[in-house]
Amino acid sequence: MATIKNVQPLSAEELFDLLKTGFANYINNKLGSNLAIEYAHVFNEINISFPEVIDGPALNIAVTDVELTVTLLAVESDYNAELLEEHLIGYLRQQAS
């Protein structure tokens, strides 16, 4: 679990839109890949899934006015989910600072 200060502050809706429009390009450029990414947003929670490599939601972001909390959900995955988490945290730090 990682916590990022929500300096902007970004709402869950704003962050959801940023993820949908920019995160795929960001992570695929970092990894030299072409991962399909799915997003689900309910209230102040955003789940991120990588359906080609991980079954079910892989990462969760809890959004408050003060911070963004990233939780790795795919701890039992054969894929390197920690690497996905690391790149998500990097992306969020860029967006929230």
Instruction: Give the three-state DSSP class for 45.
Output: strand
Instruction: Give the three-state DSSP class for 15.
Output: helix
Query: What's the confidence (pLDDT) of residue 12?
Result: 95
Tokens of 8: 């902007």
Which residues touch 88 (CB under 8 Å, ≥6 apart)?
A: 23, 27, 48, 59, 61, 70
In angstroms, the CA 6 to CA 91 distance is 13
Q: Tens digit of pLDDT per residue, the chain (97 long)?
A: 888 888 778 999 999 999 999 999 999 999 999 999 999 999 999 999 999 999 999 999 999 999 999 999 998 888 899 999 999 999 999 988 7
Q: What is the pTM of this model?
A: 0.93
